Amino acid sequence: MALRRCCGLAGVAPRLLWNVLPGAYVPGRTSASSLVNTHHGCKTLQLRRFSSAPPSTDVSYEQMKQLLAGRKAVVIDVRESWELREYGFIPGSINIPLGQVNTALQLGPDEFNEKYGGEMPQQTDNVVFTCLAGVRSKTALNAAALLGYKDVQHYLGGWQDWVKNEQQN
């Protein structure tokens, strides 16, 4: 019984520390690496926050229009091909269904072009993922970040937001 109570507090203490100490390690919210510093013979333990995602990953409709107009990003639509045929797609986007993103981003440039009909993004290119409503695109963004892509974003509103805004213009 005492063990259960003690374990129950395990989730509370990190949350309390999070509110008091910005940058403190909280399981499930951040990952951390512990560092031991030695200063004047004293050892201190520091915690640092690390994140594989860029600080701002959401792209608005206006930003998407600018990126497409200036050809400043590779736009990848991660919906299934039948969804694009039935509902439409953002002009200039490349279709890579979500289940194929991880494999596709590891192909050679020629094989990528042959299979997906577009130029393979480099790990330093700005890559924007899109889908129907921003859920699958966030998953694709995370997969690309894990593969080493540095400048990855997703169109939060997805196809639904695109259509709504295009009809208004």
- CB contact at 8 A, 132 and 83: yes
- For residue 58, list its beta bridge partners: 154
Would you say how long the chain is, in residues? 169
Question: Which two structure tokens, joined as six digits, stand for 122?
Answer: 């480099």
In the set 6, 7, 42, 131, the catalytic residue is 131
36-40 long-range contacts, CB within 8 A, separation 24+:
none
H or E stretch at 66: helix 61-69
SS3 127: strand
Q: Among this protein's residues, is 42 annotated catalytic? A: no
Positive or negative, the CA dihedral 63, 112, 89, 137 is negative
Residues belonging to the active site: 131
